[in-house]
C-alpha cells in the first residue's frame, strides 16, 4: 500500500505540470466504458486523471459542477490566449476574427450532431438554452405541463411565468426520495396525464437530491401518446 501511495503521489505531481491533462482524462473515460457506475465511483486512479484536467482548490470539495460550470484547464488557457489577441486590436480581432469564428464552431457542432447548421444555436448556458425552448413552444390557455417539484428552479420559474401570462396549467408532482423503485417515477407521470397534457418536463438527474429518472421509458410513453417531452 505504501508503494501504491508513492506512485499515486508521483502521478499527481506529474499530471499537475503536464499540458495534456485533458487528453489523459479522455483516455481514462474511455477505459470506463461498460463498467458499473459504482465501480467507476471507487476508482481513485480514474478520478485522479479527471481532477487534473481542471484547476481545483484541494482545500474545498466542489459539489456544484452545473450552475457554475468550472472549465477544464485547456479551456481556461485558450480563453486567456484569445483575450490577449483581442486586446492587441479589439475592433479588428473581435469583429473581424473572433466573431466570424462562432459560425465555424456552429458548423462543426452541426457536423458532430449530424444536423443542419440552422438547427444549432449557441447560447450562454444550458438554462438559457432550455428557457428558449420552453418559451418557444406553441401552447395555449388550458394546456398542461407535467413536471416535478424537484426539477431545476429556473425551469420551474419559466413555466410558472408562462402559466401566469398565458393561462397554462403547471402541475408539479411531489415524490419522496429515495423512491422504492424506478417504475414508481414512471407510473406517477403515467397516472397524471390528462387529455390536456401537452408537455412532460423531467431531469435525468435532479439537482436537489440526485434522483435518477427512467427518462427513456417516460419518453417512449410520451411519444405513444403524441406528447411533447
* Fold exhibited by the domain 126-224: 3.40.640
Per-residue pLDDT at 19? 58
- Cα 124 to chain centroid distance, Å, stands at 13
pLDDT tens for residues 199-212? 999 989 888 888 99
pTM attached to this predicted model: 0.70
The mean-pLDDT minimum among 115-119, 183-187, 222-226 falls in 222-226
Which residue in the block uniquely carries the three cell numbers 469583429? 95
pLDDT tens for residues 65-115? 766 777 888 888 888 988 898 899 988 988 888 888 889 999 999 999 999
In order, the DSSP letters of the chain are -HHHHHHHHHHHHHHHT-S-HHHHHHHHHHTTTTS-HHHHHT-HHHHHHHHTTB---TTS----SSSS-PPBHHHHHHHHHHHHHHHHSHHHIIIIIIHHHHHHHHHHHHHHHTS-GGG----SSHHHHHHHHHHHS---TT-EEEEETTS-HHHHHHHHHHHHHH--EEEEE---SS-S-HHHHHHHHHHH--TTEEEE---SB-TTT--B--HHHHHHHHHHTT-B-
pLDDT tens for residues 151-176? 999 999 999 999 999 999 999 999 99
DSSP secondary-structure letter at 71? P
Domain residue ranges of the chain, discontinuous segments joined by +:
126-224
Q: Distance between CA atoms of 128 and 123, rounded to whole angstroms?
A: 7
Amino acid at each position: 500500500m505504501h508503494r501504491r501511495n508513492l506512485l499515486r503521489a508521483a502521478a499527481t505531481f506529474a499530471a499537475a505540470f503536464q499540458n495534456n491533462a485533458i487528453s489523459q482524462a479522455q483516455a481514462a473515460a474511455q477505459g470506463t466504458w461498460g463498467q458499473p457506475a459504482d465501480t467507476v465511483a471507487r476508482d481513485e486512479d480514474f478520478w485522479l486523471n479527471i481532477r487534473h484536467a481542471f484547476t481545483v482548490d484541494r482545500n474545498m470539495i466542489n459539489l456544484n459542477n452545473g450552475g457554475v460550470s468550472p472549465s477544464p484547464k485547456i479551456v481556461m488557457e485558450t480563453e486567456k490566449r484569445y483575450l490577449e489577441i483581442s486586446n492587441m486590436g479589439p475592433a479588428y480581432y473581435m469583429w473581424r476574427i473572433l466573431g466570424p469564428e462562432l459560425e465555424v464552431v456552429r458548423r462543426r457542432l452541426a457536423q458532430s450532431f449530424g444536423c443542419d447548421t440552422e438547427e444549432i444555436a449557441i447560447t450562454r448556458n444550458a438554462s438559457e438554452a432550455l428557457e428558449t425552448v420552453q418559451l418557444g413552444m406553441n401552447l395555449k390557455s388550458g394546456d398542461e405541463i407535467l413536471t416535478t417539484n424537484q426539477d431545476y428552479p429556473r425551469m420551474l420559474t419559466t413555466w410558472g411565468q408562462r402559466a401566469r401570462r398565458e393561462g397554462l396549467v403547471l402541475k408539479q408532482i411531489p415524490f419522496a426520495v429515495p423512491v422504492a423503485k424506478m417504475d414508481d417515477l414512471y407510473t406517477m407521470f403515467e397516472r397524471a396525464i390528462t387529455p390536456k397534457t401537452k408537455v412532460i418536463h423531467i431531469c435525468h438527474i435532479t439537482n436537489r437530491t440526485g434522483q435518477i429518472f427512467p427518462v427513456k421509458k417516460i419518453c417512449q410513453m410520451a411519444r405513444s401518446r403524441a406528447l411533447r417531452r
